[in-house]
Amino acid sequence: MRPFRHRRLTAVVALATMLVTAAPPTAANAADKPDRRAGYHRVGYFTQWGIYGRAFPVKKLDTSGAASRLTHVNYAFGNVSEDGRCYVDGGPGEGDAWADYQRPVPAEESVDGVADAPGQALNGNFGQLAKLKAKHPDLKVLISLGGWSWSTYFSNAARTDASRKAFVASCIDLYLKGNLPGGDGAAGGPGAAAGVFDGIDLDWEWPNWAGEPGNVIRPEDRENFTKLLAEFRRQLDAYGRTTREHHPLTAFLPANPATMDAGYEGRKIFKYLDFATVQGYDFHGGWEAVANQQSALRVPAGSPDNPDFSVEVAVDGWIARGAPRDKLVLGIPYYGRGWTGITGGGNGLFQPATGPAPATFEAGYEDYKQLKTLAGNGYTVHRDLRAGHAWLFDGTTFWTYDDPAVVLQKMLYIRRAGLAGAMIWSLDGDDDNATLTKTIGLGLTTW
């Protein structure tokens, strides 16, 4: 590992510690002393589609050193059908069973260097996750359900006692028991994926609040989300009595206080969750006409929006609503948000833009591994150390992103606030040396 030199790292640690310690007291950082407990969660999302354009197979989690720094891998995503069931479907827009468990993985992409053999019941990402767990036995793998695109029918699944029971049973059957579609000589079949997944992560975006256009939304989603968690906990515990294991249940929660109030019963939901990951990004983006921060630790001075979003606003919001500190895991972006056509001069921050910046896969969205190459290559790195964010600007194009210094500052914030750890969206955004993931591991090491 060569992302840092010792003296430089020491200086960054000292500066970040000073900045976090000097912050004004809030609900999140007013703990009597920094938290020094062991066992921080380090949760990374692995995207189903990352094996394609981003060329990020499961093997890279091992060869980069990321897997040894993680406690959990969340596989994104599992789909929810209109009739409220977990399902795998290879239809366009409905899923990718080929990537999940059908694709024969060649030796050069395999965690153990052995190619998938013809007639295997388990191939693809699921098979490689099983191999990764064999190599890293303390690593937990969760299936993450929903996400931005597949939260359409969560409300249907959660609507009644009967629908909740059926939905949870279908998810446990498909993912934990591993009863995949297929078999009879093809990939899949009864028990094919048994043991790959240890638990369930719910990414319902969002109960009783607009997400992707077309999502089913009902006012009763707020109470039904709690009831759905209770049903998951009940059935996971029952299943655990047969496996003699604890099967984790987690959820992804929003940064917007209005969404918190509309969709969640605050303190009640944490009775059933092992922990929850909190959105620490997408505060602003190319859908807006002004270049801004997307993941600042605190609201920057001079922000044109009042109120505005920040990590601290999100975390304080959940704590004020009864969330236990030691069940909150802070989300860290491995990507940046960008604008182009910046006018107004200065360093670009809070200046008008003509639209989202051109990028590799999606306008206004670029992976950290690409953004890191811009620094000093026509772009200047700017920092607001007090607010805890960084950005790149070349006079026309602006990218807000988290680099190792920002990530380390956030790890120190997690420690001082007594939070449960860090979450990554998403692992394929890191460079081949897993620089950001190693920074998280360093920052959350017990001192």
Q: Is residue 362 part of a domain?
A: no
**CA 216 to mean position of chain CA atoms:** 23
Residue-level pLDDT at 93: 76
Q: Is the pTM of this model over 0.75?
A: yes
Residue-level pLDDT at 34: 36
DSSP 172: I
Q: Is residue 341 part of a domain?
A: no
Residue 94 has pLDDT above 90, yes or no: no
CA distances from 268 to 93, 224, 264 (A): 34, 12, 9
CA distance 156 to 71: 32
Q: Give tens-digit pLDDT for 287-337.
A: 999 999 999 999 999 999 999 999 999 999 999 999 999 999 999 999 999
What CATH number is associated with residue 161?
Answer: 3.20.20.80
Q: Is residue 279 part of a domain?
A: yes
**Residues in the chain, how many?**
447
Q: Is residue 188 part of a domain?
A: yes
Residue 31 has pLDDT above 90, yes or no: no
Residue 30 has pLDDT above 60, yes or no: no
User: For the chain, how many structural domains are there in total?
Assistant: 1
Nearest CA among 61, 58, 48, 54 for reference residue 109: 58
Confidence label for 29 from pLDDT (cuts 50, 70 and 90): very low
Q: Is residue 117 part of a domain?
A: yes
Residue-level pLDDT at 26: 55
Q: Is residue 172 part of a domain?
A: yes
Domain that residue 113 falls in: 6-334+408-443
Residue-level pLDDT at 17: 43
CA distance 38 to 112: 30
Q: Is residue 161 part of a domain?
A: yes
* Catalytic position from the list 205, 265, 312, 366: 205
Q: Is residue 74 part of a domain?
A: yes
Nearest CA among 350, 332, 313, 318 for reference residue 409: 332
Active site residue 82: no
Residue-level pLDDT at 24: 42
